[in-house]
Structures are given as C-alpha cells and as structure tokens.
Amino acid sequence: MKAVQIKSPHELRVIEMEKPSADPRNNVLVRMVAAGICGSDGTIYHGTNAIVTYPRIIGHEMVGVVEETFENVKNLKPGDRVIISQVVSCGRCYPCRNGRGNVCDNLKVRGIHIDGGFREYIAVPESDCCLLPDSLSDRDAVMIEPATIAIQACARAQLAQDDMLLILGYGALGSSVLRIARLLCRHIIVACRTDSKLEDARQNGALHTVNVLKEDLAKKTMEYTGGHGATVSIDAANTGDSLSSLLKATGNAGRVVVMGLTAAAAQINPFLITAKELDVRGSRLQNRMFGTAIEMVRSGKLDLAGSVSHTFPLTEAQKAFDLIDSHDPSVRKVVLTFEF
C-alpha cells in the first residue's frame, strides 16, 4: 500500500509499505478515504516540530471506512464510516487514572510519535474509532478533529455564557476556537494581524476585532470589556510574545489558555499572574471530545461545511504542501483523498 512519509525535514516521499491487518489489540482495519493536512504536519515537514521523530508517516485528521474487524470487536462492522482519534494513551498512569489521557505520561500521538493516517490502511483499536453521521461528507468530516481541539480549549477555559473572551490568532486554530466559542458565549474579541481575517471573524461571530499591528491589544481589550479586561483569553497564535500579551489583556480572576507547542523561550511578568490571580492553563490535543463534536454536528449546532478549500490525491501530497507554503489566500483546509 502507499503512504506519505517525511523521511527528514523538507524530504517528503510516497512510499510502498506492507498493508496491516486487524489483530486482538488493533482490532479494526480502516481503509482511509480522507485525511486533512494540519499546521503541525507542516511543522514536521519543515523540521520545526519539537517532538516528532523521523522518518514518520504523518497525518492525524483521519476519516475512513471499516475494512475488516477482529473477532473481539463489539460495535463496528465492515462498511462503517469512522473518524480515528489521534491520541494513544496507556490507561495506567496518573493522568489516565484521572480521566486525562490526552496528557498521558506515555502519550503517543498518531502522525507524530507513531505513524499516522497518510496511508491507505491503518489498524487501530475499536475504542479509537467514532461512527460518523451520514449527513457529513468524507472531506467535511476531516474537520471534526480540529473542532475537538477547540472544544478541549473551551472546556479547559470553563467558558461560560457571561464570559468576555479574547482569542489571539485567527488561523486554522483560532477560527476553529471561534466556531465553538460562539455557541457558548456572545462577547468575543478576535485579534490578529490581517484585516481580511478580522472581517471573516466578525462575520462568524466576533463582536469586536483588534489588528495587533495597528492597535494596542491590552488597551482595545479594556475598551471592549468596560475596563475590566478579558475574563478568558485563548492563545491561538503561539508566538514569542503572545502569552505576555494575553496576561496584560486579561482582567482580574481571569483564565488564560495556552494551546501552542513551541519550544521557544517566552519572557513573562509573574506579577501579572499573581496580582490578578490569573489561572494559566495548557490545552493539548483533545480528551474524548470526538463524541461531543459529532453530536454537535448531528444536532445542527456545528456546521463544518465550507472549511475545505482544496483536495489532492495522496500521491500528490508534495503539491498539497507546496500550495500551503505558497500562502495563497484562497487556501483554508487542504485534504488528501485516497482514490487511485
């Protein structure tokens, strides 16, 4: 079978590898039909991901059809359409015992620590598969995984109806956060560097916007929150100064949620945390949020249509990455398909 492997930074190749089969542990064999290219896939390709090991078959936004099942499978059958979790946890360590397998001490993420979904077939445990509603196309279903990341961040923030939320950054991550946050609260400020993105944010639920290249983020946030500051801030920008900026823009007793995995050093003022008694929380991956996202789609609360702008067959993955690197403004989500 064919697979896309990053052998080393900037070296992408389509390889042939042995087709897996279902076994007692990885008891569901899935034939892949669509897989999204995430920003973290780009960091692996460019060699800026701090935790990946090479060579690696990338891809963690994985949609497929059950091909075969082992005899111990209870709830799935061949022909079922599924989305596959990227999180592989041990179930035994302290985080796992406390219901937080997404930060398992022995965490393995498909497409980063172990091989992922940019291949024609993958064998996984039944517990890592979620059934997809018939109303959702294969390529739109890819967007469930980014939605779960946003749901996790909003859950970590304990976002509530009366919160005044500031989202810093409006790329793929920030727009996913806005899509979920607007279902939970109405007072949302989006900040980024691009006027066209800010206009999109306003059209999609942001009450106020801030262009951080032209305006002072903390001052504008104070203005838009009646002088208090944001009650919740979410860092979807992951830049060297984003956390520091959010500590200034967040008001007393607020929560600041950090989503990035950059290893770059960041200088912050601890006094801002202590004086305001801020909660600074990390949000990583997702913690059993696929069911929540799928139920939101079924109920009509979450519309994933229109997010995918381009598709390429798996064998043209290099063209897909080249398009993303071109920074063409028409590019939103790029999806690989598996029809040869």
How many percent of the chain have pLDDT more than 90?
89
Q: Answer with the residue of higher pLDDT: 29 or 260.
A: 29
pLDDT over threshold 90, residue 264: no
**Please, which pLDDT band fits residue 317 given cuts at 50, 70 and 90?**
very high
| Rounded Cα gap, residues 314 and 58, in angstroms | 12
- What is the domain range of residue 65? 2-143+304-337
Cβ atoms of residues 40 and 78 within 8 Å: no
| Rounded Cα gap, residues 32 and 10, in angstroms | 24
Assigned domain for 248 exists: yes
104 and 49 co-located in one domain = yes
Pairing label, strands 28-37, 121-124: antiparallel
Q: Answer with the residue of higher pLDDT: 266 or 226.
A: 226
What is the average per-residue pLDDT within 259-270? 78
136 and 154 co-located in one domain = no
Assigned domain for 288 exists: no
Q: Which two tokens mark 224? A: 């838009």
**Please, which pLDDT band fits residue 262 given cuts at 50, 70 and 90?**
low
Out of 198-212, 223-237, 252-266, which region has the weakest mean confidence (pLDDT)?
Answer: 252-266
Assigned domain for 296 exists: no
What is the average per-residue pLDDT within 276-293? 96
Cβ atoms of residues 297 and 291 within 8 Å: no
pLDDT at 307 (0 to 100):
86
- Cα-Cα-Cα-Cα dihedral sign, residues 198, 329, 59, 312: positive
pLDDT over threshold 60, residue 340: no
253 and 209 co-located in one domain = yes
pLDDT at 49 (0 to 100):
87
Residue 176, CA distances (Å) to 15, 78, 210, 290 in order: 32, 31, 18, 14
Cβ atoms of residues 11 and 5 within 8 Å: no
Number of folded domains that form the chain? 2
66 and 112 co-located in one domain = yes
Three-class HEC string of the chain: CEEEEEEECCEEEEEECCCCCCCCCCCEEEEEEEEEECHHHHHHHHCCCCCCCCCEECCCEEEEEEEEECCCCCCCCCCCEEEECCEECCCCCHHHHCCCHHHCCCCEEECCCECCCCECEEEECHHHEEECCCCCCHHHHCCHHHHHHHHHHHHHCCCCCCCEEEEECCCHHHHHHHHHHCCCCCEEEEEECCHHHHHHHHHCCCCEEEECCCCCHHHHHHHHCCCCCEEEEEECCCCCCHHHHHHHHEEEEEEEEECCCCCCCCCCCHHHHHHHCCEEEECCCCCCCHHHHHHHHHCCCCCCCCCEEEEEEHHHHHHHHHHHHCCCCCCCEEEEECCC
CATH number for 171: 3.40.50.720
How many percent of the chain have pLDDT more than 70?
99
Pairing label, strands 308-313, 333-337: parallel
For the chain, what is the mean pLDDT?
95
Assigned domain for 138 exists: yes
90 and 194 co-located in one domain = no
pLDDT at 172 (0 to 100):
83
Out of 126-140, 176-190, 258-272, which region has the weakest mean confidence (pLDDT)?
Answer: 258-272
| Rounded Cα gap, residues 300 and 246, in angstroms | 32
| Rounded Cα gap, residues 126 and 23, in angstroms | 11
CATH number for 70: 3.90.180.10
**Please, which pLDDT band fits residue 66 given cuts at 50, 70 and 90?**
very high
**Please, which pLDDT band fits residue 39 given cuts at 50, 70 and 90?**
confident
Assigned domain for 273 exists: yes
9 and 84 co-located in one domain = yes
pLDDT at 263 (0 to 100):
65
pLDDT at 319 (0 to 100):
97
Q: Which two tokens mark 105? A: 């001490």
65 bridge partner residues: 31, 81
User: Identity (one letter) of the amino acid at 118?
Assistant: F
pLDDT over threshold 60, residue 241: yes
